[in-house]
Structures are given as C-alpha cells and as structure tokens.
C-alpha cells in the first residue's frame, strides 16, 4: 500500500495535535512533519518528501496564502489542502486561483478529513460542501443560465465541464476521454470564455447550478 505523507502547518499546536490524533489510525496516511508557519513549511519541504500539505491560512511569519504561492512555485508536485475557519467566497476563490487543491473547514469531521486527503492524493480536488455553498451564494460568482444556456456548449465541452466539476485533473480527463491533456486545457479555456468564468470555481458553480453534478 502506498502511504500518503502529510505535512501539517498550523500555528496552534492544539490543532496540530488534534489532526495527528485524527490521522494516526489510518494505514495509508502518515504525518511526516509539522510546521508552525508558512516559512517553516517551506523549509521542511526542502528536507522531507511529502505528498500533501494540510495548511492553515492565518499563521505568523508567513501566512498560508503567501506560502501556497511559494509552494506551488518551488514544489509543483506537492498538493495543498487549506484547512481554515474562513468561509468567505472571495478568500476561497483567491486560494483556488493560486493553486489550492482542496479547502476544508476546521469544523470538518474525521471521515471528511481523511476522505479529502485521499481524494487529493489521488489527483482530484476536494472542497467541503459548506465551501461550495459559499461559492454558489456569492453574487459575483453567479452565472446566469438564461444568459449562458447549456445549448452554447458542445457535447464534448459539457462532458469535460462535468469532469472538471467532479475534481478530475486535465491529465485524468484526457485519459478518460482518450484525448491529450493539451486538448482538455483548450476546451477548459473555451469553457471559461463561453461561461464568463474567471476560474475553476466559476465552472464548478455553473456545473452545479445546471445539474451536471
């Protein structure tokens, strides 16, 4: 069994200890390291091989937003799940645009936490239901189905939109549909133009509103 190596980054030790306790009985997930701020997480990335960083936003020295930017710049293969109490749509969208692979709330259950880690490690993205709802309720992110009818999309675009909303990567979508990941990227760009979406959150919102997922 391939183990998923996780780095925990949070400035509250009680949160770190709680996360370790929740994950300790899983056979496939191990906590490889702990950091109390973004700078420390980056330093540990230089000496530890990890698959996922479970990271808070509000941390001293270097916050989660700045750390995420740097992590994606220097370690593009490392997945990052944001663990936060914030549910503001603007904050969530910004983190998604930077490259967050998942976003879960600190009120999450043990089962959701473990499931999110496994999904992201498997190449999918994961966002808590409350997070998705926050995005859907954001007026700036609403896409009118009357102005942007499903009829505007080709069958292939609709198919790809559904898979994007389900959390599959370009490479995974390409494999499923027997097309190259570059072709998937082209379709995704066209979808964003047609639906007037600025990011993946907008595409996911549209897919949910139109019953694709």
Residue 209 has pLDDT above 80, yes or no: no
Q: Is residue 137 in some structural domain? A: no
pLDDT at 83: 94
Mean pLDDT of the chain: 86
**Could you tell me the residue range of the domain that residue 196 belongs to?**
142-209
Q: Is residue 96 in some structural domain? A: yes
Question: Using 50, 70 and 90 to split pLDDT, how confident is the model at 213?
Answer: low
Residues 109 and 146 in one domain: no
Residues 122 and 172 in one domain: no
CATH number for the domain harbouring residue 172: 1.10.10.10
Each residue's pLDDT tens digit, 81-110 = 999 988 777 778 778 888 899 999 998 999
Tokens, residue 185: 């990227």
Residue 133 has pLDDT above 70, yes or no: yes
Q: Is 171 helix (H, G, I), strand (E, B) or coil?
A: helix
Residues 108 and 175 in one domain: no
Residues 20 and 120 in one domain: yes
Task: Please check whether residue 4 is in contact with residue 52, taking contact to mean a CB–CB distance below 8 angstroms.
Answer: yes
Burial of 54 (0-12, 13-18, 19+ CB in 10 A): buried
Residues 155 and 117 in one domain: no
Residues 20 and 85 in one domain: yes
pTM here is 0.66
Residues 65 and 96 in one domain: yes
Question: Using 50, 70 and 90 to split pLDDT, how confident is the model at 144?
Answer: very low
Quote the number of domains for the chain.
Answer: 2
Residues 203 and 172 in one domain: yes
pLDDT at 88: 77
Question: Using 50, 70 and 90 to split pLDDT, how confident is the model at 197?
Answer: confident
CATH number for the domain harbouring residue 101: 3.40.50.2300
Q: Is residue 131 in some structural domain? A: no
What is the rounded average pLDDT of the residues 65-73?
Answer: 90
The closest alpha carbon to 103, from 122, 123, 73, 79, belongs to 79
Residues 8 and 80 in one domain: yes
The closest alpha carbon to 200, from 126, 117, 116, belongs to 126
Question: Using 50, 70 and 90 to split pLDDT, how confident is the model at 149?
Answer: low
Residue 140 has pLDDT above 70, yes or no: no
pLDDT at 53: 97
Residues 23 and 117 in one domain: yes
Task: Please check whether residue 35 is in contact with residue 6, taking contact to mean a CB–CB distance below 8 angstroms.
Answer: no
Task: Please check whether residue 212 is in contact with residue 158, taking contact to mean a CB–CB distance below 8 angstroms.
Answer: yes
Residues 17 and 76 in one domain: yes
Residues 93 and 185 in one domain: no
Place of tokens 């969530």: 92
């Amino acid at each position: 069994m391939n183990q998923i190596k996780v780095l925990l980054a949070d400035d509250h030790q009680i949160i770190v200890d709680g996360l370790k306790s929740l994950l300790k009985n899983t056979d496939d997930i191990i906590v490889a390291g702990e950091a109390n701020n973004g700078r420390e997480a980056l330093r540990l990335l230089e000496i530890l091989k990890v698959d996922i960083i479970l990271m808070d936003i509000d941390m001293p020295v270097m916050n989660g937003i700045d750390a995420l930017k740097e992590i994606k710049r220097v370690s593009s293969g490392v997945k990052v799940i944001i663990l936060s109490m914030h549910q503001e749509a603007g904050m969530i969208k910004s983190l998604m645009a930077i490259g967050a692979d998942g976003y879960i709330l600190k009120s999450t259950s043990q089962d959701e936490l473990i499931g999110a880690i496994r999904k992201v490690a498997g190449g999918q993205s994961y966002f808590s239901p409350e997070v998705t709802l926050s995005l859907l309720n954001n007026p700036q992110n609403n896409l009118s189905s009357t102005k942007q009818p499903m009829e505007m999309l080709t069958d292939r675009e609709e198919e790809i939109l559904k898979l994007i909303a389900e959390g599959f990567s370009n490479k995974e979508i390409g494999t499923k549909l027997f097309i190259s990941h570059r072709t998937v990227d082209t379709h995704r760009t066209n979808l964003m133009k047609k639906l007037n979406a600025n990011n993946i959150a907008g595409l996911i919102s549209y897919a949910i509103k139109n019953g694709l997922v």
